[in-house]
Structure 1
Amino acid sequence: MLNSNMLRKLDMQDLMVFVAVYEQSSVTEVSEALCVSQSTVSYCLKKLRTSFENELFVNTRSGMLPTSKATAMYPHILSILKIINTCHSGIPAFDPTQKEITFNVCAPEYFELLILPKLVKRFIGSRFPVIINITKFHRDIPADELMEGRFDLVICFGPNFHRGVKGLRSQVLLEDELVCVVDKNFTLAEEAFSLETFVACQHVFPTPWTSDTNMIDGWLARQGYNRQIVARANSYVAALNMIAGTDFILTLPRRIQALTCDENTFSHRRPPAGLPNFTLDMMWSEKPSQDSANSWFREQIIKVCAEDGLL
């Protein structure tokens, strides 16, 4: 944020004029060096003086002499211009072809099923020597591991399913909704479950991450209801096998349902009205966000999501 709204009116030319006047002490010479008119130089000086609330340069017989504030500002203005030039061309881009690199990611099964296969195929197709290690997501955001560089990325569900952590940045990768999967011969014919019917049935619960709570039961609790869970599975596929030939309900993300459910074995119903959608979020530490390899890896994930129509 800026200390004064007047600073918003400054541009790069104003800063270049400041440096040139400081170094050359002559409006005429600055005009020639920057290939602008003397009136332009005067206008830039007027903007600078107004924005910084200081005369900055005093016009004397020996030239434009800087005030003490201008002298203090000079190295910082030089630094700003240097940083701008670095942003334009001086940041080294990560080259994935140069050497083998490993990315450590903490993510739920959802990411492994939906995005990881396409990401790996992308790297293989481009002959990038990239290795991806996935660690199962547990109860909370592994903030310490992210800050210390033991994880490059954390993939988690949102919004606001996990406590916020200072020093971390996040980006939404996609949005999804929940759908109820049942056996093809499920006895209830309704296309959508009422809340009362939903909680009266028996449920299989997949645990794609380790937690005492989940978005479905949290929502039910807020409505004053709870459901009967007859079995818990470590994966979506294992949970599907449990409901085959039964009247159990398995509530899955719609994208996972479309990816894993055989239409000859399973059908699906809409969940109770009001059950919220969710997002898949990508989180990383602010410190490694400046690392070109980390930025490149995040970009590849976003491209996979975009190319597959997930965004």
Structure 2
Amino acid sequence: MHAVHIRDLDLNLLVVFDALQRERSVTRAAAEVGLSQGAMSHALNRLRAFFEDPLFVKTSSGMAPTAKAELIGGTIGQIMTALQQNVVSQARFDPSTARRSFVLCMTDMGELVFLPPLIKRLRKAAPHCTLRSMQIPLEEIEATLAAGEADLALGSMHVAPESLFQQQLFLHTFVTMVSVRNKAVGKTIKKAQFESMPHIVVSLTGRASEAYDRAFDDYGIKRNIYLTTPHFLAVPHLIDAHPELIANVPLELGNVFAKLGTVRIVPPPIPLPPFALRQHWHPRFHDDPANIWLRQIIKETFDRYPNLPDATD
């Protein structure tokens, strides 16, 4: 058979061959692939013409394969299995049976905010799937998503790459976090106190956020920035060790840290603008069924945030 001869083969006929090979009956094979018995017989005739062989012949025990049918049957069976497992299965995503690991780009703050309710939801909807989080520099997120090394990036990227799709999940506001041992600050913090006390600023880039700076500048407030760190988790421990320090953090994170009993939150002296938490994904995976499902479940999970049920319920 010449290589160009493959163009004459209707690949749907492989489905017919595979069914006949397993059922050894035109009637049963026709029922399996959803054809009438007449259409099945016509398909078998086309197979015979292509392979120039009877392929299956009537016997007292059913349709028996010829020597050529047995020769090519194993290969066709492997082709059908590979198509089913590696191609057809990718056309849909069944979370109840899927076995895969979803990878999310997020900060340590994102882990505290996103993971508890998300784990609860995924363990019920996709019991055989797992989660992995990774923290990477902002400039590497686009390439990481494009390469399929991560499914989504969750967080507040003030300057997200234009090539990425994005969807807003919710808005978060900011509070000022102080030590419970700092008696100089009452239920509110005065402007003079806010300006004089040393601040901890969290920035993934190592620089104070321009958006935050602009908000303070608009009100004529100058921060006394003592420490800039890329790690939110370090902030409450540093404030506990050094009660003179303060920090501005998202409300949701402040509530988590306040449960530690070492810090408390107060409203800042000025109304800081809210920031949007979004999920971002690469166009390569915009129509991927598993990615679509993951985006939908994350959107549904955080649609009412922060008014979510306790993740331990």
Whether 1:152 and 2:148 are equivalent positions in the alignment is: no
Kept after mapping to 2: 8 A contact 1:108/1:156: yes
* Residue aligning to 2:201: 205
Q: Give 1:283's match in structure 2, choosing from 269, 280, 283.
A: 280
1:128 CA displacement: 2.0
Kept after mapping to 2: 8 A contact 1:145/1:151: yes
CA distance in structure 2 between the aligned counterparts of 1:301 and 1:250, rounded to whole angstroms: 29
CA distance in structure 2 between the aligned counterparts of 1:195 and 1:154, rounded to whole angstroms: 36
Whether 1:306 and 2:303 are equivalent positions in the alignment is: yes
CA distance in structure 2 between the aligned counterparts of 1:92 and 1:241, rounded to whole angstroms: 48
Structure 1 residues 1-37: Cα deviation after superposition (integer angstroms, max 9, x where no partner) = xxxxxxxxxxxxxxxxxxxxxxxxxxxxxxxxxxxxx
Q: Give 2:172's match in structure 1, choosing from 171, 176, 190.
A: 176
CA distance in structure 1 between the aligned counterparts of 2:145 and 2:126, rounded to whole angstroms: 28
Kept after mapping to 2: 8 A contact 1:174/1:279: yes
Give, as a single letter, the amino acid of the residue that structure 2 aligns with 1:306: D
1:309 CA displacement: 4.5
1:218 CA displacement: 4.6
Give, as a single letter, the amino acid of the residue that structure 1 aligns with 2:208: T
Q: Give 2:225's match in structure 1, choosing from 210, 229, 233.
A: 229
* Residue aligning to 1:217: 213
Kept after mapping to 2: 8 A contact 1:105/1:133: yes
Q: How does 1:39-78 map to 2 (within 5 A)?
A: none
* Residue aligning to 1:293: 290
CA distance in structure 2 between the aligned counterparts of 1:221 and 1:141, rounded to whole angstroms: 30
1:221 CA displacement: 4.7
The TM-score with structure 1 as length reference comes to 0.61
Structure 1 residues 207-237: Cα deviation after superposition (integer angstroms, max 9, x where no partner) = 4x34423243353355565422333455333
* Residue aligning to 2:101: 102
SS at match of 1:272: coil
Sort the Cα spacing of 1:241 and 1:263 in 2 relative to 1 into closer, same or farther, 3 A: closer
Q: Give 1:255's match in structure 2, choosing from 252, 273, 277.
A: 252
1:194 CA displacement: 4.3
SS at match of 1:142: helix
1:196 CA displacement: 4.0
Give, as a single letter, the amino acid of the residue that structure 1 aligns with 2:299: I
* Residue aligning to 2:64: none
SS at match of 1:198: helix
Give, as a single letter, the amino acid of the residue that structure 2 aligns with 1:144: A
CA distance in structure 2 between the aligned counterparts of 1:144 and 1:126, rounded to whole angstroms: 29
Give, as a single letter, the amino acid of the residue that structure 1 aligns with 2:103: N
CA distance in structure 1 between the aligned counterparts of 2:140 and 2:173, rounded to whole angstroms: 22
CA distance in structure 2 between the aligned counterparts of 1:195 and 1:155, rounded to whole angstroms: 33
1:198 CA displacement: 1.5
CA distance in structure 1 between the aligned counterparts of 2:161 and 2:218, rounded to whole angstroms: 21
1:295 CA displacement: 0.6
Q: Once superposed, what is the RMSD of the aligned Cα atoms?
A: 2.8
How many pairs does the alignment contain? 217
CA distance in structure 2 between the aligned counterparts of 1:263 and 1:108, rounded to whole angstroms: 20
Sort the Cα spacing of 1:211 and 1:131 in 2 relative to 1 into closer, same or farther, 3 A: farther
Sort the Cα spacing of 1:151 and 1:310 in 2 relative to 1 into closer, same or farther, 3 A: farther
The TM-score with structure 2 as length reference comes to 0.60
Give, as a single letter, the amino acid of the residue that structure 1 aligns with 2:119: V
1:272 CA displacement: 2.5
Kept after mapping to 2: 8 A contact 1:137/1:210: no
Kept after mapping to 2: 8 A contact 1:184/1:265: yes
Kept after mapping to 2: 8 A contact 1:152/1:284: yes
Kept after mapping to 2: 8 A contact 1:140/1:162: no
SS at match of 1:229: strand
CA distance in structure 2 between the aligned counterparts of 1:290 and 1:204, rounded to whole angstroms: 41
**Structure 1: gaps of 5 or more residues:** 1-90
* Residue aligning to 1:119: 118
